[in-house]
Amino acid sequence: MEKKLRIIAAVVVIGLIMVGCDESASNGNGNGNGYDNGHTPIEMVRVEGGTFELGRELGGHASGDTTPVSTVTLTGFYMGKFLVTQGEWYDVMGNRPSFFTGTNIWGGGTAPETFDRRDLPVERVSWYDAIVFANRLSELRGLTPAYEMQTAANTSEWSTDPATWGALPMSNNARWNNVRVITGSTGYRLPTEAQWEFAAKGGNEGETYTFSGSNDADEVAWHNGNSGGRTRPVGTLAPNGLGIYDMSGNVWEWVWDWWGSYTSEAKTDPTGASSGTDRVLRSGCWNVAGVNSRSVNRQTALPDNRFTYIGFRLVRP
C-alpha cells in the first residue's frame, strides 16, 4: 500500500546533476573535525511512556490504516523539539552538506524570501551520517554514546568513536549496517519508528489528528502545495500537542528501523526488523503532497542515500 521513494529519488538525482550539485559535497569551509561552537542546544521535549496502536490512522483526513495494526507500549523518552538544523550540524560536524542555502529554490532561481540557513533543517545527510552526528554530539555533551560499531582496522574490535569507524560509506555497507545500540547508554540516537509515530500522534495527550497536530496539513506541514519549492525554517508552523514541530512535512526523517512489514502481536519498545536493505523514513517533505505527511505514512530509502528531502531529529532515553 505504501509506495517507496525510488521514483522520487531518481528524479531528484537527475535534477541535481542538471543543476550541478554533488549530493555528498560540502558547501562549507569547515574542517569536519566535530568542533562544537556552542550553538547546539538540541531542545528536547519529554514524551511520557504509554500505549498506542501503531499503524492506526486517525482524524478527518485518514485514508487507511497501515496494517496490521498492533498495540505498542513504550518507555518514556525525550525527543527533539525541532528537526536537526543546518546550524546545529555545522557546529558539530564542521561542514555544510545541504543543498538549500536560504536564498535558493529547487530547480534554480532566487527565492522570493530569504532565510538564515542555520534555521533550515539539515538535508543531504545519510542514515550513516546521522549516527555519526549522534555519537559526536553525545561526546560533546558528556553523554554515553548510544552507538558502537566494528572498527575499520579490526572487525573484532567495537568502538563508540566515529573516528575509528572509517570513511562514511557512499554505498550500502555491511559493517556500518551492523551498528548497534549500547544498552543503558544516555546519548542521542535516532528514534525508533514506534517512538516517532507515538510522538507524532501527541503521545498521551489524546490527539486524534491525521497529521501531527492538526487535521489540516497546511497548519503543520511544509509540502509541495505551500513550501515554494524549498525547505523552511524549523518551528514556523504549529506544533503538535507535545510542543514538537515539523513532524509532518519539511523533510523526511530517518528513524532507526530497518524497513519491514508490520506484525500484529502486542509489543514493548520495539526496534523493528532485525535486518533489511532500506531504513524507514517518516514525516513527508517539501516536495511531496500534503497527504504524505500523515502520521502513519511510511517510506523507505537506502541508508547511504543523501537527498534534499531527507533529514532527521534525535531522541534520548
The type of residue at 205 is E
Residue 158 lies in a domain: no
pTM, whole model, 2 decimals? Answer: 0.89
In a domain, 160, yes or no: no
Residue 84 belongs to domain spanning: 6-144+185-316
DSSP secondary structure code for residue 144 in this structure: P
- We report the CATH number of the domain holding residue 309 as 3.90.1580.10
Q: Is residue 176 part of a domain?
A: no
pLDDT tens-digit readout, 64-93: 999 999 999 999 999 999 999 999 999 999
Given a cut of 60, whether residue 18 has pLDDT beyond it is no
From 117, 111, 54, select the one nearest 91 (Cα to Cα): 117
Asked whether residue 33 is domain-assigned, the answer is: yes
Say if CB 124 and CB 307 are below 8 A apart: yes
For residue 163, being part of any structural domain is answered with: no
Looking at every residue in the chain, the average pLDDT score rounds to 90
213 Ramachandran zone, left/alpha/beta (phi>0; psi -120 to 50):
left
Work out how many domains the chain is built from and give that number. Answer: 1
Predicted confidence (pLDDT) per residue in 234-288, tens digit? 999 999 999 999 999 999 999 999 999 999 999 999 999 999 999 999 999 999 9
Antiparallel, parallel or unpaired: β 310-311 and 252-258: parallel
Q: Which of 315, 312, 316, 317 is nearest to 130 (CA)?
A: 312
Share above pLDDT 90 across residues of the chain, in percent, rounded to a whole number: 84
**Domain contains 59:** yes
On the question of pLDDT at 17 being above 60, the answer is: no
Classify residue 174: in a domain, yes or no: no
pLDDT at 5: 46
Predicted confidence at residue 38, as pLDDT, reads: 54
Residue 303 maps to a domain = yes
Q: Are 73 and 8 in contact (CB under 8 A)?
A: no
